[in-house]
Structure 1
Amino acid sequence: MEDMRKRLAMLMDSRQWRERYFKMVKAALQDSDVQTFLKQHEAELADDAIDRGTAKIYEFVSERNKIARGDLPLAPGYQPTLVVANGLIDVAYEPTDAKMAADEEAKQASLVTSVNMPKDIHDASLTNYDPTDERVDALLAANRFVLAVVADPKTFHQGLYLSGPFGVGKTYLLGAIANDLASKGGIATTLLHVPTFVVEMKSAIGSNTVLKKIDRVKRAQVLMLDDIGAESISPWVRDDVLGIILQYRMQEKMPTLFSSNKSMADLTESLAGTDRGNSEMLKAQRIMERIRFLAKEVTVGGENRRNPMTNKVPNDKE
């Protein structure tokens, strides 16, 4: 007797479920978007298309309503649309405007590879770069470089060597150039903090990965070497790391940019080791010959935006 009651309860639930389902399907068939679709594609649909497509019609209305309510749909980021496939009704899912915008943003971000660079360069933009009197030349040169590369990416374009004191915005400007190249031309850039890269290269000796790291860097579509000369560079790094990277990029005529707190003349002295009591000027000049081929020097001036206190001029009372 107990089994009979369970069986009857199951049948009742089954009937109630079917009744609710048919009621929902009927409502879906009467939906204005569905009716518009059926009228527009009447000539394309088979005679039994509606009967065979009720589940698809219900799926379309159900998922569309979920999105309208803010509920989690079957395919987040995609919106349903009714389509005709071989005379029958089907549901296709197309990316939403928000999904396409997010995908485009992610695609552009993936084009900029930053290694040990500050986080603020991720949102850097030439539009937001403050064009003070001492920075306007650098901004104009940056815009010219971006426009030239985007217009003709297969031709060699001489990069920039941004020189100037600490904190005046040289690194930010490199990041802005990289982001503009990505957004306007889909061009990939690798930004490298040279002092940190030098430390990593020394560590790579033990793991025998020096050549692998050099090869990856030298082949970057656009390469940016940030803060070159900030610390003393050993003869090995100068000749067997930077020398190889710059020689390859000079031969292949690949866009390369630099930033430094040293002018090109001062960097030559540093690479020669004169600050360490060495005198390898010939080797330093070979490196500088490659740098000068790859980039033209542009001075960036202005206040120290990283540490404004350094701009304060002491008065007699202090």
Structure 2
Amino acid sequence: MDSIEDAVKTMPGFNQFQKEYDRIKREVLQDPLVRSFLSRYPTLSDASIEKGLTKLYEYSKEQKQCSQCPGLQACPNLMAGYQPHLEVEKNQLSIYYEKCSLKKQDEHQKSLSARMQSYFIPKDILEASFTNLTSIDEDRKEAIGAGMAFVKKLSAKEEAKGLYFYGKFGVGKTYLLGAIANALAERGISSLLIHTPEFLREMKSSLSDGTFNEKMELLKTVPVLMLDDLGAENMTNWVRDEIIGVILQYRMMERLPTLYSSNYDFEFLEEHFSYSQKGGLEEAKAKRIMERIRHLATPIFIGGDKNFRANQ
């Protein structure tokens, strides 16, 4: 009775299959990367190499695809974003996969995005960084230094007082907040950067869609809150007392840092908060809000005529 091996050899097409197998084997074993790997294991037997040929073929094919990388989104590898590596264990070949640099970069960026949330903030602000600041003149040194010191303190798990950047429109207050948020994200610290006027309008609509409490909880508890363009919102008693006041009171009690940008200094901001939709002034309530802001942040004026990103 013929053996299975002998029976297979007599099957139609076997000779053609054997030729193709031998051709692929030659190509794989002549691959410079495969030859370099095998040269490090001179005691590896021919039988082990033959047995591990499919792994060598997989390694050769996927490494070639990596050398002609079309980008992460179009990665043709068996596992997109992963590169193959060979090793020898107990005189047997094995293959494993590790994330390539593009995959690691993509995951890193996604982790930063998860740590740095935002509402109604332009894309270029979300890509801001201290290294890209181009107009570091005397009008900006204090603000940049304060921002970097803030990041350094939080990174060292030290308590850090918030910052209140103020100055006229277009000097780069929002960009600096973005640079701080990105620097914090790089160090694993979550923040939330919002354009205050737009977000407060959304908060009003969230009363009807059931997301109000969820958003309030986020603003109250996020490790670092950044309120951009404070004072430009349409001030109402509800906004002042039920939104801004409640958030700042909670953050003050929990010692959670809050950063701000505004066109107003403290004096004008207090005046803004004092206006009542019912007419007249509510100075006591405005002072109460300002006490929380003063307690939570150091005011820093940003002067100059050019934006930080003017030359980007």
> 1:277, 1:136 → 2: CA distance?
41
Match of 2:185 in 1: 182
Provide Cα deviations, 1:50-77, integer angstroms capped at 9, x if missing partner: 2321111111112222333457333332
Match of 2:40 in 1: 40
Q: In the superposition, relative to structure 1, how do residues 46 and 20 fare at CA in structure 2: closer, same or farther (>3 Å)?
A: closer
Counterpart of 2:287 in 1: which secondary structure?
helix
Match of 1:270 among 272, 277, 290: 272
Higher mean displacement: 86-95 or 113-122: 86-95
> 1:296, 1:275 → 2: CA distance?
29
Higher mean displacement: 48-57 or 173-182: 48-57
Match of 1:148 among 147, 153, 156: 153
Is 2:164 the counterpart of 1:161? yes
> 2:271, 2:149 → 1: CA distance?
30
> 2:49, 2:232 → 1: CA distance?
72
Match of 1:288 in 2: 290
Which consecutive residues of structure 1, in runs of 5 or more, have no partner in the other structure? 1-9, 309-318
> 2:20, 2:46 → 1: CA distance?
26
* Identical-pair percentage: 41
> 1:203, 1:197 → 2: CA distance?
10
Is 2:26 the counterpart of 1:26? yes
Which consecutive residues of structure 2, in runs of 5 or more, have no partner in the other structure? 1-10, 71-75
Letter aligned with residue 11 of structure 1 = P
Counterpart of 1:135 in 2: which secondary structure?
helix
Is 2:128 the counterpart of 1:132? no
Letter aligned with residue 59 of structure 1 = E
Letter aligned with residue 29 of structure 1 = L
Match of 1:313 in 2: none
How many equivalent residue pairs?
293
Match of 2:123 in 1: 119
Higher mean displacement: 203-212 or 46-55: 46-55
Match of 1:6 in 2: none
Letter aligned with residue 156 of structure 1 = E
CA contact (8 A) 2:237 2:276 kept: no
TM-score of the pair, normalised by structure 2: 0.85
TM-score of the pair, normalised by structure 1: 0.83
Letter aligned with residue 28 of structure 1 = V
CA contact (8 A) 1:269 1:275 kept: no
Shift of 1:87: 4.5
Match of 2:302 in 1: 300
> 1:119, 1:68 → 2: CA distance?
32
> 1:18, 1:284 → 2: CA distance?
87
Match of 2:12 in 1: 11
